[in-house]
């Protein structure tokens, strides 16, 4: 892996520490310390996860064009130990070394004196400003909160070596309104994490914004999970997609993003760049079947930016996609699968349509619904103008209206319109391949005395007698 900047190197080292914590069976602490002694910054990344295998550092290569020797000498100081080791091993790794055998230098070990613990510390010294590093590292931790990894507590500490001895500490721990159990699944954590992310305006606030989200009904969230079987050719992948839709008709502080959606990406429980497979998956979805018109999907390095056509100004969509091995660490290097990503996103969209009436209706369904008021008015007129009391009583029963008191035309119209729209929405929720004829408005509309074979002949009869017009 080529390292093109100091910021990317630090993020990579932090991500590796997160993975070591995940492999540990207990609670872990991840600490990032930036100690400034101008013009040098000492960066320390330590964790209490499983000990490090040095192979994870051997693939790192320092890009001379990206990181000049005046900024960093290419040296990493690594201290690591496993729970079964009786000493702490200490190494120096020179990433600028051209000969692999000379890159690694083993230093004297430190005895543990029968203590039982595990962990790793990686240190480097660079010529850079605190602010240049701090922005990217804070952004990384803010995104990591979305995953809600249960066993890792992370902290970021800044030590400035000035006369006042100022010490600033930022602790990144989930501030949850509804804490999750340790047994919660990864996708449940991802849903909860995205919900908190949106409620706190992309984690820019410490608590939920009550002015924008005075009611949780304004935020609708759903998920989809797609997976592949592990084989000698495939590592066995899981794709989790979570979509949140905010309906904010009157918002005082919600950041306006126009007709655009940021799609956050994670790979193996760490923020990742956008893959070509992900962009292809997003552009291949039939968004019109969900009432959306895609203009473009663009790679923005750490997220994909989707632009919609004519998205209502009160509507905002947030999305996150996470791809990972079924078992970690995986045996194979892999690229995210386009078909799995597409399937996961579509399952999340279908779940939203299923749970929330009227949400994400296709353009075709919306057009049909626009005729419902006129149709309901005509049917109500027929019912109310009839002098057949038995017929009117039957209609009232089917519409679930009380017959004990006079019912106005508007009430009848509204109830019929609800029935019509309900049928349209029910049919619209079905995938295109299995859509059938729309169900009857009322359960007993279908003739009960016809044989199934007769129904088939009646529905598929051809010729000139398909329609019978009055003389």
Chain segment 294-340, per-residue pLDDT in tens: 999 999 888 999 999 988 877 889 999 999 987 655 555 666 789 99
| The pLDDT value given to residue 252 | 53
Maximum Cα–Cα distance across the chain: 106
**pLDDT-wise least confident of 130-144, 159-173, 196-210, 377-391:** 159-173
Same fold, 2-173 and 188-355: no
**pLDDT-wise least confident of 40-44, 291-295, 461-465:** 461-465
Element of type H or E holding 240: strand 237-247
**What does the block give as tokens for 256?**
């306006």
| The pLDDT value given to residue 64 | 66
User: What are the distances in angstroms from CA 102 to CA 62, 77, 96, 286, 370?
Assistant: 15, 15, 10, 54, 74
Chain segment 362-421, per-residue pLDDT in tens: 888 888 888 888 998 999 889 888 888 888 888 888 888 876 656 788 888 998 988 888
| The pLDDT value given to residue 282 | 95
Helix spans in 116-185 (H): 130-144
Contact partners, residue 149, CB within 8 Å, separation at least 6: 18, 21, 22, 189, 269
Find out if CATH 3.40.1000.10 is the number for domain 2-173: no
Angle at 257 between CA 253 and CA 258, to 5 degrees: 115
For the cut 90, the answer to whether the pLDDT of residue 210 exceeds it is: no
| Every domain of the chain and the residues it spans | 2-173, 188-355, 363-428
Its CATH class, for the domain covering 188-355, is alpha beta
Between residues 281 and 458, which one has the greater pLDDT?
Answer: 281
Q: Which residue has the tokens 């939203």?
A: 352
Burial class (CB in 10 A: 0-12, 13-18, 19+), 315: middle
């Amino acid at each position: 892996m080529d390292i093109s900047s100091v910021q990317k190197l630090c993020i990579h080292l932090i991500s590796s520490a997160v993975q070591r914590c995940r492999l540990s069976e207990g609670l872990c602490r991840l600490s990032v310390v930036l100690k400034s002694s101008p013009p040098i910054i000492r960066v320390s990344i330590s964790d209490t996860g499983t000990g490090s295998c040095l192979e994870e550092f051997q693939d790192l290569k320092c890009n001379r064009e990206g990181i000049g020797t005046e900024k960093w000498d290419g040296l990493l100081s690594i201290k690591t130990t496993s729970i079964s080791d009786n000493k702490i091993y200490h190494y120096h790794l020179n990433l600028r070394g051209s000969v692999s055998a000379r890159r690694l230098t083993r230093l004297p070990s430190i005895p543990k004196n029968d203590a039982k613990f595990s962990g790793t510390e990686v240190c480097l010294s660079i010529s850079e400003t605190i602010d240049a590093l701090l922005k990217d590292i804070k952004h990384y931790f803010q995104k990591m909160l979305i995953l809600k990894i249960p066993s890792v507590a992370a902290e970021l500490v800044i030590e400035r070596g000035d006369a006042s001895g100022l010490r600033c500490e930022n602790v990144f721990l989930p501030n949850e309104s509804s804490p999750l159990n340790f047994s919660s699944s990864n996708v449940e954590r991802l849903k909860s994490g995205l919900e908190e992310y949106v409620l706190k305006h992309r984690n820019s606030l410490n608590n939920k914004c009550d002015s924008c989200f005075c009611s949780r009904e304004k935020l609708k969230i759903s998920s989809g999970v797609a997976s592949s079987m592990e084989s000698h050719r495939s590592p066995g992948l899981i794709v989790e997609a979570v979509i949140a839709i905010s309906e904010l008709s009157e918002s005082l502080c919600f950041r306006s993003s126009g007709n655009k959606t940021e799609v956050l990406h994670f790979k193996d429980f760490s923020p990742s760049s956008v893959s070509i497979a992900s962009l292809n998956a997003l552009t291949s979805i039939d968004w019109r079947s969900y009432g959306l018109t895609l203009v473009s999907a663009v790679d923005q390095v750490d997220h994909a930016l989707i632009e919609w056509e004519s998205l209502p100004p009160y509507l905002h969509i947030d999305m996150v996609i996470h791809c990972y091995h079924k078992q970690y660490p995986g045996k194979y290097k892999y690229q995210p699968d386009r078909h799995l990503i597409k399937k996961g996103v579509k399952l999340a969209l279908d779940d939203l349509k299923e749970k929330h009436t009227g949400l994400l209706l296709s353009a075709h369904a919306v057009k049909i619904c626009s005729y419902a008021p006129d149709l309901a008015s005509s049917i109500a007129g027929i019912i109310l103008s009839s002098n057949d009391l038995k017929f009117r009583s039957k209609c009232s029963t089917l519409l679930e209206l009380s017959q004990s008191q006079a019912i106005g035309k508007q009430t009848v119209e509204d109830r019929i319109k609800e029935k019509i729209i309900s049928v349209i929405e029910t049919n619209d929720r079905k995938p295109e391949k299995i859509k059938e004829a729309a169900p009857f408005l009322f359960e007993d509309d279908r003739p009960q005395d016809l044989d199934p074979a007769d129904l088939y002949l009646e529905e598929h009869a051809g010729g000139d007698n398909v329609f019978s017009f009055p003389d």
